[in-house]
Amino acid sequence: MEMVQEMPAASGVGKEQDSPVQARTAAAIDHALAAQIDPASSVVVSGFWRSGTTWLQECLAEILDAKTIFEPFHFRVPATKKLFKYYNLAKKPEPVRELFIPYCADKALAPYSLLYHYYDSALRADLGGHIVRLLRRDVAESYRPRVLVKFTRGQFSLPAAQNTFAMPVIHVYRDPRAIIASAKMTDWYWLFDHLSLKEQLLEPQDGRAQYFARWSEAIAEYDNDKVAKIAAYWAMTEIFLLHAFSHNSRRAMLVSYEELCRRPELMLEILEKLNVQKKVNTDFGAVSGDSFSTSQQRRGASSAERISGWNKVLSTAEIAMIESVAKHFGFANRLSE
């Protein structure tokens, strides 16, 4: 899954993790082939937690015959130790590190900086640890020449990385009511009890405070309510990404999760617009809405339930709060009918 607690591999995925030897073998193959991979040819899927990123990654992996890299900034990926040390987070509690999103305000990543090396490694599938290979079915997938990377913690640095490596980026966004309802059905919803907007947006000494200071009053107000601060954190990531990509639309597309549910074939249209060549034929009639990280309560749910089922999970007060936050930050159009 995408956060601290791990859940058993869903049927058909994560089989490689059944054996530590197989996991090490897959990583060794990735490392041996990394130099042959052009980062610009790798594909990135981005989105906030519970926005459908894992489902989209799994679908695209089939369409592109690509090997997956899952959550490079997950705190259990060994390479994050250097990142957390750089951001002075090494001694912070796990929930703080797990909800942290690395930041870069520059147009491009500084050559050979820590983030430059990190993205270069992720795009070449050259990261250690079993977490990043959770979606692999078997070791053989490691031989695939195309890489498909998925981030839920990339929004504050992806624009700079995209300007640096020119890889195609697909950012999937979802109704914030559905995001929070989905999070409530996971076994890691408790992590957001530890979310502090101030700690994540205003305290790190990496330039983000200057950007997010304009919303300091809203940050202080929403930091006192769990649902409000999740919605606000979502809004902050979307604002930053929208602002950054509005100045550079090269090989970057934003797509609605709800629209993908209604029309899975939209994936092919997006790939065509991004000039990404698909490798295999896809039967979209067989595409399932379930993914590795789908909560047990949602497995087998229809597209309609995935789109509007949030109204059966959230209270009236929670719905009103999320809608208020979304409208405050200019995202009333993200509230699907």
Tokens of 256: 């609605």
Of 41, 3, 313, the C-alpha closest to 166 is 41
Of 271, 196, 264, 268, the C-alpha closest to 55 is 264
**If you average pLDDT over residues 126-144, what whole number do you get?**
94
| 131 found inside a domain | yes
SS (H, E, C) 1-34: CCCCCCCCCCCCCCHHHHCHHHHHHHHHHHHHHH
**Domain span at residue 178?**
15-274+302-330
| 48 found inside a domain | yes
The residue written with tokens 């750089």 in the block is: 86
Q: How confident is the model at residue 10 (pLDDT cuts 50, 70, 90)?
A: very low
Give the Cα separation of 260 and 43 in Å (integer): 18
| 293 found inside a domain | no
Residue 297 has pLDDT above 70, yes or no: no
What is this structure's pTM? Answer: 0.90
pLDDT digits (tens, 9 = 90+) for 75-107: 999 999 999 999 999 999 999 999 999 999 899
CATH number of the domain encompassing residue 323: 3.40.50
* Count: domains in the chain: 1
| 279 found inside a domain | no
pLDDT digits (tens, 9 = 90+) for 256-272: 999 999 999 999 999 99
| 163 found inside a domain | yes
| 336 found inside a domain | no
* pLDDT for 285: 53
Q: How confident is the model at residue 298 (pLDDT cuts 50, 70, 90)?
A: low
pLDDT digits (tens, 9 = 90+) for 182-224: 999 999 999 999 999 999 999 999 999 999 999 999 999 999 9
| 64 found inside a domain | yes
Tokens of 152: 């839920």
- Is the CA virtual torsion 235, 3, 337, 267 positive or negative? positive
Give the Cα separation of 80 and 72 in Å (integer): 8
